[in-house]
């Protein structure tokens, strides 16, 4: 399956790897790019020096294009954007906000800009401001989430803009990829499945918790703060639930969650840490290489399509 985004981004398959803070480092990004997708380094809350180091490392591991994901709530956004422009990174994806003010400089540097959008309104604004494509990310995703499901969001965004739309949230196999295309998407972004790849450097206990997860284990916490986060049920999510029931202040809730992602990813603290993962975690049951994942996703499409045609004709 070829799509218009393959030429746009210089990739073989229309698959982006989701930028997962603390998790998507140079190794994972380069492996995905080497396998024909678009690997993405996550800047998360890290300082610009870290991002620069990871970009340079990725360049030693692949000669294919890769991207950097910028989390717009980070205190280092401006410096990270400067590094991306200086290093002429092929693609930038953004999350958790509106990247409009950075678009002119990124375009000037020749970087393709692909914001994550949780709504039609932001998708339209991003198109007007010069974005090359958008990622319509449903609430099935792990990490910071919007309200709409992938099923409802993707076709509405596709109808509202003329630039390519990638679908994200709840996609981990060929059925999900084909469904995204049926909704009008030109590509997909996949996070949780790549988290369980051989090349992903996340703590092994974190990976194991994703492998063990069932369909209802990925829950949303901290809705009252305005920055809801989906992660696997544990002591931390129960703590969030208690605080929210008590009507605790945003400040108290945010303080409770501070440092929790690092604790899970780096230290493997799967009880007190934030084990961010999407709802599709229940279906991710084995560790494979990025190449196996991508090949499997693509080669499985024919069989899924035959099954669909068999049912509708
Ligand atoms: O950004 C993500 N996923 C993330 S970021 C992250 S790190 C973090 N940790 C704790 C609290 C918050 C963040 C972990 N996972 N996904 C992309 C995404 N972007 N989801 C939702 C949005 C979004 C929300 C609002 C994008 C734009 C937006 O715009 C609001 C506006 O200003 O119009």
Ligand 1 center to 94 CA (angstroms): 8
| Ligand 1 pocket, mutate which of 45, 68, 80, 95 (most atoms under 8 A from CB) | 95
Average pLDDT, stretch 29-34?
A: 98
Ligand 1 center to 82 CA (angstroms): 21
**Nearest residue (CA) to ligand 1, atom 22:** 96
Ligand 1 center to 116 CA (angstroms): 8
Domain boundaries, the chain: 10-201+283-308, 204-280
Average pLDDT, stretch 197-224?
A: 98
- Ligand 1: atom nearest CA of 143 is 15
Phi/psi for 311 (5° steps) reads: -85, -35
Task: Encode pLDDT of 163-210 as tens digits.
Answer: 999 999 999 999 999 999 999 999 999 999 999 999 999 999 999 999
- Average of per-residue pLDDT values in the chain: 97
- Ligand 1: atom nearest CA of 142 is 15
Residue 33 has pLDDT above 90, yes or no: yes
Phi/psi for 70 (5° steps) reads: -110, 120
Angle ∠(177,182,183) on CA atoms, nearest 5: 100
Ligand 1 center to 22 CA (angstroms): 15
Residues contacting ligand 1 via CB (< 6 Å): 21, 44, 71, 73, 95-98, 116, 118, 122, 137, 143-146, 227, 229, 276
Residue 153 has pLDDT above 90, yes or no: yes
The pLDDT > 70 percentage for the chain reads 99
Ligand 1 center to 221 CA (angstroms): 14
- Of 75, 109, 25, 211, nearest to 92 by C-alpha is 109
Ligand 1 center to 206 CA (angstroms): 21
Ligand 1 center to 146 CA (angstroms): 8
At the topology level of CATH, where does 10-201+283-308 sit?
TIM Barrel (3.20.20)
Residue 53 has pLDDT above 70, yes or no: yes
Ligand 1 center to 312 CA (angstroms): 37
Ligand 1 center to 97 CA (angstroms): 6
| Ligand 1 pocket, mutate which of 67, 143, 227, 254 (most atoms under 8 A from CB) | 143
What is the structure's pLDDT at 1? 63
What is the structure's pLDDT at 313? 86
| Ligand 1 pocket, mutate which of 114, 136, 137, 144 (most atoms under 8 A from CB) | 144
The rounded distance, in Å, linking the Cα atoms of 44 and 71 is 5
Residue 2: pLDDT band by 50, 70, 90 thresholds? low
Q: What's the pTM? A: 0.98
Is residue 18 within 8 A of residue 168, CB to CB? The reply is yes
**Nearest residue (CA) to ligand 1, atom 5:** 144
What is the structure's pLDDT at 276? 98
């Amino acid at each position: 399956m070829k799509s218009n985004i393959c030429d746009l981004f210089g990739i073989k398959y229309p698959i982006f790897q989701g930028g997962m803070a603390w998790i998507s480092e140079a190794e994972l990004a380069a492996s995905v790019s080497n396998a024909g997708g678009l690997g993405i380094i996550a800047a998360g809350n890290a300082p610009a020096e870290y991002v620069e180091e990871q970009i340079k490392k990725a360049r030693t591991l692949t000669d294919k294009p890769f991207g950097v994901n910028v989390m717009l709530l980070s205190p280092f956004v401006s410096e990270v954007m400067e590094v991306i422009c200086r290093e002429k990174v092929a693609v930038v994806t953004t999350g958790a906000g509106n990247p409009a003010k950075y678009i002119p400089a990124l375009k000037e540097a020749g970087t393709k800009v692909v914001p994550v959008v949780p709504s039609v309104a932001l998708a339209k604004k991003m198109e007007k401001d010069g974005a090359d494509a958008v990622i319509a990310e449903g609430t099935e995703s792990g990490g910071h989430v919007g309200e709409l499901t992938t099923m409802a969001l993707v076709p509405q965004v596709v109808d509202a803009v003329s630039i390519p739309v990638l679908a994200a949230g709840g996609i981990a196999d060929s059925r999900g990829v084909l469904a995204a295309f049926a909704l009008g998407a030109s590509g997909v972004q996949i996070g949780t499945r790549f988290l369980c790849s051989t090349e992903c450097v996340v703590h092994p206990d974190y990976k194991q918790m994703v492998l063990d997860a069932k369909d209802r284990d990925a829950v949303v916490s901290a809705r009252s703060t305005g920055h809801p986060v989906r992660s696997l049920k544990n002591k931390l999510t129960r703590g969030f639930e208690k605080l929210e029931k008590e009507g605790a202040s945003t400040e108290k809730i945010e303080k409770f969650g501070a440092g929790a992602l690092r604790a899970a990813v780096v230290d493997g603290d799967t009880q007190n840490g934030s084990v961010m993962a999407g709802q599709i975690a229940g279906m991710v049951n084995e560790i494979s290489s990025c190449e196996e994942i991508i090949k499997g996703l693509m080669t499985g499409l024919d069989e899924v399509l035959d099954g669909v045609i068999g049912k509708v004709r």
